[in-house]
Each structure stands twice: as structure tokens, then as C-alpha cells.
Amino acid sequence: MTRYLDLYWLFLIQRLKTLMEYRASFILGAASTISLQAASIAAVWVVMQKVPSLNGWSYNEVLMVYGFVTLTKSINHMFADNLWTIGRVYIRTGGFDRFLVRPIDPLFHLLADRFCQDGVGNFVVGIALVIKTSIDLGIEWTLPKALMLIVATISGGVIFIALNLITAVSSFWVIDSVPVTRLVFDNHLFAQYPLTIYPRAISVLLTWVIPYGFASFYPASYLLGREIGNLAWLSPFIAAFLMFIGYRFWQFGLRYYSGTGS
């Protein structure tokens, strides 16, 4: 484990050196996601002006849910963005083969090969929303709540990464896995709002099948003191289970990978 942490640090330093050669591009990449999130938050504000309460959830409470999903999604965006492009960037061009001839885990190498600075903007927006809304709502920060923020951020990020990994494995057969990944990933848009506003089928889907709810709704509910929020403590176990499944899928795909032939 220590070896891989040291290796990742070296990969990250080299990536940051590359990015900082074009500092304006780095800053614009991070700032662009902040602008996009600002537009989305404005849309939520407009809706909540017309409907002040969504099934018992106020504007600030909805914004906290939105903040959590933005925060957790940023972990995936920063550290696992390569899963989106594994097919067309690595497999189709033959570049994936180099991961197979080096003395480190191919999945680790794929993830460490790129740090996406765009996710930094999402992280800033997410943490700012969670903190601001907690202040506006008068939430008293205790040790369990601070711990939940850390646990939910890491676990939610792993949930995003694991679900993307499970779907990205399809690139070993169909080359471009983006449509398959997006089919699952886009469900996180429902998790930007409280799950209680949806029909029960969607709530169950986003809790036990595609559990993005554990990256947003349940942690926010815990901070807000809602009883259902206690489910948020399951998030590390769900994240670990999904990552286990994702890695097993990955190993299965590797066994059938035959290269480009070039």
C-alpha cells in the first residue's frame, strides 16, 4: 500500500508540473466547472422561488443535498476521469498495452495516469455549499457530524468511481464505453435533490441498485438531524462492496483483452 501511495504521489507531481506549464488553462479548467455549477444552483434557486418547499425540504436543505453530490462527484472527476476515455484514448490506439508490461497494477496505472483539474472546481463548490448551508440552517458541528462529512465525501467518491469502473469495463468489448457509463452515471442527477420527492421506485433504485443516494441524500439527512440519515453510516460498506465488484469486473475484462493487433 505504501509503495502505491508513493507512486501515486510521483505521478501526481508530474501531472501537476505538466498542467502548470499552461497555468491559464489550469485555472480556466477549474473555474469553468465553478461557472457551470453556479448556473445549476441558479436554476435550483429559480425553482425554489416558485415552490418554497419540496415535500418538506427547504431551499437550503435542497442546496445541501446538491452540495454533497457535487463534492463527492468531484473525487471521481479529479482522480478517476480516465475511466471515461479508456476505450477511445487507450484501447483503440493501443496505448493500453503499456499498462500491461509494467510492474504495477494496470488499473492503478490507468487512474494515476491523469489528474483532472476540472474536478477541483467541483470540490470547491461542493464543500462551500455544505458549509454555507449548514451555517444558514444553524447546524451545530459535532464530532460525529464532522466525521460524517469526511466519511461521506470519501465513500461517495468511491461509489462514483466504482460505478464508473463497472460500466467502463465494457470498453474491452465495445471499445467506446461512454454510452454505457453515461446510462448509469446520469442517474446521479436525481440524487441532486432529496430522494423523498420521487416515486418510491426511484428512491429504491438510488439507494440499493445505483446507490448515489449515499453520496448525497443520506449524508445531508444526517447533518440535518433527520432519522433516515442514520443510513449514511452504511456508505463505507456500500462503497467497499461496489469497488470489490468493480475490480472483479475489471479482472474479468482483462482476461478477455486481446489488444489492437498493431
- Residue 29: predicted pLDDT: 67
Find the domain containing 75 and state its range.
Answer: 2-255
- Residue 252: predicted pLDDT: 95
Task: List the pLDDT tens digit at each of the 262 positions of the chain.
Answer: 788 889 899 888 888 887 777 767 767 766 777 778 888 888 888 888 888 888 999 999 999 999 999 999 999 999 999 999 999 899 988 889 999 988 899 999 999 998 988 888 899 999 999 999 999 999 999 999 999 999 999 999 999 999 999 999 999 998 889 999 999 999 999 999 999 999 999 999 999 999 999 999 999 999 999 999 999 999 999 999 999 999 999 999 998 887 765 5
User: Is 262 among the domain residues?
Assistant: no
Q: How many CB atoms lie within 10 A of CB 109?
A: 18
User: Is 9 among the domain residues?
Assistant: yes
| Contacts of residue 193, Cβ cutoff 8 Å, sequence gap at least 6 | 54, 62, 65, 66
The CA-atom distances, in angstroms, between 213 and each of 69, 132, 135, 187, 235 are: 9, 21, 23, 10, 9
User: Is 194 among the domain residues?
Assistant: yes
Count of the separate structural domains present in the chain: 1
Distance CA 77, CA 98 (A): 23
User: Is 260 among the domain residues?
Assistant: no
Q: What is the pTM of this model?
A: 0.93
User: Is 261 among the domain residues?
Assistant: no
pLDDT tens digit sequence for 73-116: 999 999 999 999 999 899 988 889 999 988 899 999 999 998 98
C-alpha cell at 26: 489550469
